[in-house]
Amino acid sequence: MNVGNKVILFLCMLLSCAGARAQKAAVKTNLLYDAAAFTANAGVEVGLAPRWTLDVSANYNGWTLSHDRKWKHWLVQPEARYWFCERFARHFVGAHLLGGQYNVGNLKNGISFLGTDFSKLSDRRYQGWFTGAGVAYGYAWILGKHWNLEAEIGVGYIYTRFDSYPCAECGTKLAEDRPHHYVGPTKAAINLVYLNSATLL
């Protein structure tokens, strides 16, 4: 079983186990990742208390793009959310954790941000793991009885260790097990959400 299937199985198990205590639950997909990053993703969110929910999302990209561009990664991101009005409606804030692995490179760009030089991805490949935490703000628009549209942005800290290579397909290492500290955006989402308003038992 590959990593993508394991992530989907984990999310299904979480949703089924949480049903006993959740009066409302949701499944969702991040349209930004679907369209811009060609990344398969899914999330589940369950009610914990009148204004609290637990959201768990997962992303998987296992493909090499044209011209040997790599954006391969997997990511799991649990988040506790507090809703100011009621669950699954209007303003919310969240605190999240995240972790995963990546194999990225040959991505032409000129971006340098808060001590992280993403332009190095233009002619090098990086492979490693990461973990981090952050905070977020979001808003959910009610579209219908079972459908929401949700926007969220988050910032935080990520610690990563990586090996670097001179090109997308090269096996000769330029550096091994290097640490890096990242501060900046840790979450960006425009989620299409399906709500199940009944208890899942």
Q: Report pLDDT digits (tens) over 94-136.
A: 999 999 999 887 766 656 666 676 666 667 788 999 999 999 9
Q: Is the pLDDT of residue 68 over 90?
A: no
pTM of the model: 0.80
Q: What is 3-196's CATH number?
A: 2.40.160
Q: How many other CB atoms are found less than 10 A from the CB of residue 135?
A: 14
Q: What pLDDT, on a 0 to 100 scale, did the predictor assign at position 37?
A: 66
Report the amino acid identity of residue 186: T
Residue 148: C-alpha distances to residues 16, 190, 196 (Å) = 21, 10, 11
Q: Report pLDDT digits (tens) over 14-59.
A: 444 444 344 589 999 999 988 876 789 999 999 999 999 999 999 9
To the nearest whole number, what is the mean pLDDT of the chain?
Answer: 83
> What are the extents of the domains in the chain?
3-196
Residue 19: C-alpha distances to residues 22, 58, 114, 151 (Å) = 5, 19, 41, 25
